[in-house]
Structure 1
């Protein structure tokens, strides 16, 4: 069963990825090692800025990075790499061109001269891109971190695993590229091409960090730190993860200003999680840990790029104001369950089985799948929500029994356009939760909800305009049963499938619950909406003004995510 669950999650990733525009804009990148993708083995910290650029765009734009270590404009052409790229270009695609570092090298297989052979190669890239209907963009080389007189800065790119002769560094950043910086500018002017002066932008960046601080951007690695470079590295040319993200951000800012048609797809996030090395971190928990504690008046935005992240994620109370945004196919998954043994041989319990725990207030998630793939082994939670003012938009909650645990007694939660599936009690807990335009899918017989609303609470669960659907296996499903005596659940203008039993509601085997629960419906439709055979303690509402989302969620602070949801994303261009 667990293997089947994993396959289902993988299928969901593929299905979600399929809903794309017919023609996604592709950015083809050609250049050298400062732009190229890097291997990830041995916890390698090196990145080209092109490796991480994709995380600065919406999914309407795809980055295909063909830049390669050690290549000049000449060797890139001679080795057939440019031919591979030009054959792929379609009208409306972009080609980002950045050479120079290796054109400066003396080896005949790489060397070109500015003003003649280097310029002609750049012209070739421009002409042939345009011939395919593509849009060429010329960049000059990023700056080297060269604060001293170093005769090997160009020849060796200053990679010194064992630095025997230290270069005495001064206070002034010294250019190493010379006229190679002018060729892209001149060709761009001559051929009316967009030119992005990434050298000047990175020069200002490096200078702003200073002599010592700028090492933070480059591959300055102490010995015995990473398996990828056990002897360490002192490299003033190649960027580390942090530096690549900073340089890519500079490129994205320039794109917004100089290429507005492409710039409208640019996005900026505080942190990016990516399995392919294009982000700041490989795991969501690493990103959460990096968020400053109690960051007030600012939201921390985290992009989770496409992929399945098998990890247990805990968002502690101190990590307030987090926005977790997923690309299509971003899945957080684990397979713990209540009766599974922990390291002490004790059962984990329902509360201990969750894939994700959210204790912090003002949490926002969009387009994230929360999954528990333990299968039908009893209680196995996908998402446990304790923090107040939690907002989930277009998210998916996958599991079986006890999928979504709305845990916090004083927590208000809003679910918009979400998909939630399970068998028994798969939406359960104490919180006040409103579900709007959601799909609630029963994958087997059981109970959709099991609220444990405290006595005296004004609201429990409210469902507005939701679709309750069922798999073929789901033939006998109740809307709710009370986990605690004062449970509340209201379904308003929802579509109820034929899997919903005529009785509608269940008293959990306790007659006394019938006098304390508040179970109600209003103008539902569908094969399961006939109220003629409903249990006698079920109510049919005549007025739902008290159940408007802004009333249900307002509390004492007037929280209104329906009207003001985008306030949560104030520092993120949507």
Structure 2
């Protein structure tokens, strides 16, 4: 047996130690990677303009981008979908406004970036209004400007240059880009929808091919689908008559379905592995709007109509279902005492709404028939009442009952909206009598104390009545000074819808169609 030379032995020992060290470092990296990514899901990021995400993505005005329904086509137990598009942006301003950087910083290997730009790239390169245009084409031309809108010096590039930056930067992070051509506008000529295959659709395709990434010709796919339906079926269905660029919910679903079709056709895009085989598309998710209150809210009968009967006409019926649980003769007290509220609570779901208006009957008898009066104010005072049948009832303040409705709704994940009672047809010196020192005031206080939304319908309707004049308003009240006919109810419902639409933080505003024509 030969002995190894001492030098060789030392070399072997050093090599062995080096191998152990490398193995240790590799194992450490693998373990660290496993700890942080064992349960991580890839994320699909969508970037683009308002045809990808309209407004806040809440369907305001019935308009949606395709990035919102897209999530329903994917197995979300295996992949996340995040819509980062913003209306009004171009391939240029999505970068300059700082919208791309947060997405880029979050990108992980195996994530996806779906991009669609072009609708706004044709605008002016430099003006004091939007300054969002890009140089046409895919070349390396550039233009130096002093931006009239931002006041900053800027180098503006071509549409294709900006797309290349998104693609290359996403790739550098290990993400997988997918490029879409812009959806078509609802413009028709001789029974056909004009394509953009000689402009932004063409340039998007050229960039995708040059960069070796998937391209989905969404413009062609959707234009063809629209032509199969015909202009009469598209307008008012996939697009609304007043807007030829932004899709309705149905139009957004069609665009998303065509993107999915394109992903399935793609040969080298693993994103299709996350698609559901038979997705159930429920978009937009319909929420319930429950109404509680007295006869001025209830549907009514004959000539007497509450605003709750007319309110659904001012909502997008594809987004919300209005359920009127108001009942004539009830106060904030009796609606609870009679079990009407307890019947409703189990029906509430997360994201539903409860509009509540009480006050007209709360000033009635507390301890005599009809036993519907509540204590004044919003405090915790109580009064024990013995009813005609000998039973005992603890009566609370108007505010206490309202707070209970709010708390119960919030506990179910529903969104309460407190509405002050409509004014009575009572006038003094040319002014309508307000409830601003009583139930209107207490309704506001309750909303503020509980974090509920508040609408001062009492004030808004009174102001409208005064603008119309007492004689015109009298036609709304056929029998008394409290209850309206259908015309009065319609006016009150319209004013309420307008007030809801003005609350920027309220999700229900997106479902309001103040024109009274539901989509």
- Superposed pair shares fold, TM > 0.5: no
Q: Which has the higher contact order (CA 8 A, sep 6+)?
A: 2
When the two structures are superposed, what TM-score results if normalisation uses the length of structure 1?
0.39
Choose 1 or 2 for highest CA Rg. Answer: 2
Give the TM-score normalised by the residue count of structure 2.
Answer: 0.43
